[in-house]
Every structure is written in structure tokens, then in C-alpha cells.
Amino acid sequence: MKLIVGLGNPGTAYSFNRHNIGFLCINHIAKSHGIALDKKQGKARTGKGIIAGIEVLLAKPQTYMNNSGQAVRLLMQKYDLDIDDLIVIHDDIDLPFGKVRLKQNSGAGGHNGIKSIIDYLGTQDFVRIKIGISRPQLEDEPVEDTIVDYVLGDFDTEDKPVLDDVIQRTGDAVACLIREDLNTAMNRFN
């Protein structure tokens, strides 16, 4: 079984935030593969199904971004999964909006959700699908305040075509990772 985790914050107030692109991708993947996200377990909303002939567990942690690792660890333990079975989808402000980048065994890069997962699992050796949301244009506000406001801000209406495309490509990248391997997926989607 593969555990595919999309990072985000629970609640309708955060639904279309840039920081919630992991949740948006999980919703798309679930819909595309007929998987109902109808269970609450391991502090996450989950759904089981089949992608590319392999059983998967889709998960959206309900612990808020900065404590995502708690939900991931509980699910990994419950299903006795290895680190090779984990795929995490998250936003990345250091990538241009709409860019997809697959990586394995890299640091948190300032992303608190990834930092939490690394802390709870004791390793950074898992596959991530990073989705670019770009850096905010800085003005007179302190950098940290601007970044927090930006990632917790909603996507703009004009972002929708790129957003729809990147969500679709991320779903395709997940299927490729499951069907083939990381190198093939990296060559195709990075």
C-alpha cells in the first residue's frame, strides 16, 4: 500500500489557500479514481482505493500544517508502512507558480509541514511532490509576515487555469510514481 498525503489546513476558511494545494490535489486524485475521503483515522481524513493497480491510502491531515507529522506517523504505524511507501504533496514558495518538482531525501526547505513530518518520522528520505506557488512580492512589511499572509491567502481568479493544470499534472505524477518509479516520474514531470 502507498500512503499519499496532501498537506494543508483543515476548515473551509483555508480551502483555497495557496498553502492548501496538497489538499486540492488529494481531492482531485480521489475524485479521478473514485476514492471517497470518508474516514477519520490517525488524525487525518482518509480514503482507500486503487491507483495503477496498487492499493493506496489518500490522506489529508487534520492537525494543521505545522503538526502534519503527527498524522503521517500515526497512519504509517497503523498500516505498518515503510518510508518508501510515503508520497507527500505540498506547496513550495521557491518554485514558480505551476511548476512541479519531485524529490526524495531533501530537507524541509523552510516548510513547517515537511519539517514536522521529518521530525515525527526521524528521516527525510521520503518522496515529495512540490508544487510551486512562487514567492510573494515584498513591499514594506516584514518578510515573515508577508510570507505567512501570502501562503494563507487564496489563489487569485486569474490563477485558475494554471492551478487546474498543475493539479492534473500532480495527479498524473502520482500515478506514474505508483506505476513506474521515481526516476521515470522525475524525468517526465520535473
User: Which cell is 84 given?
Assistant: 518508501
19 annotated active-site: yes
User: Which cell is 89 given?
Assistant: 504533496
- Are 91 and 68 a contacting pair, CB within 8 Å? no
Element (H, E) at 47: strand 44-51
Q: Pairing between strand 86-92 and 2-6?
A: parallel
User: Three-class SS string for 143-163?
Assistant: HHHHHHHHHCCECCHHHHHHH
Q: Active-site residue among 19, 28, 33, 90?
A: 19
| Residue 62 bridge partners (DSSP) | none
| Residue 87 bridge partners (DSSP) | 4, 127
Active site members: 19
